[in-house]
Amino acid sequence: YLQETYGPDHEVTHYIASRYPTIPPTIQRYKLSELHRSNVRSQITGISTFYIAPKDSVETNLEMAIRLGLAKPDSKVGSPKKTRAIDQYGGREKEAVEALA
């Protein structure tokens, strides 16, 4: 189903949180088509989490945003920004993780 919707080359991020402070999390990027490989499937466990980035960026529906209380009638809707690489921690994220240790 995912390959039909996103295409076989769409990237997904496989994430397993660290269970111990001194061990880094598992963060692996795969194309959807690679998830069929046995060596990739063997990395997936019951505690695996997947992030699937949106296929397309679309503009905010201002009318719906107003109905949901997320915007005011005089709000301006900007163009969608490219999503950042979700599996790459920046300085702010690294500081937060370090503070937990």
Q: What is the pLDDT of residues 40-92, one digit of tens each?
A: 999 999 999 999 988 887 888 899 999 999 999 998 887 777 666 666 777 88
Same structural domain, 18 and 67: no
- pLDDT for residue 90: 78
- pLDDT for residue 76: 86
Which domain range does residue 67 map to? 58-101
- What number is the average pLDDT over the span 20-24? 91
Same structural domain, 3 and 43: yes
pTM for the predicted model, two decimal places: 0.62
Instruction: Count CB atoms within 10 A of the CB of residue 70.
Output: 11
| Bridge partner residues of 52 (DSSP) | 12
Same structural domain, 41 and 64: no
- Beta-sheet pairing, 26-31 with 49-52: unpaired
Residue 4 has pLDDT above 90, yes or no: yes
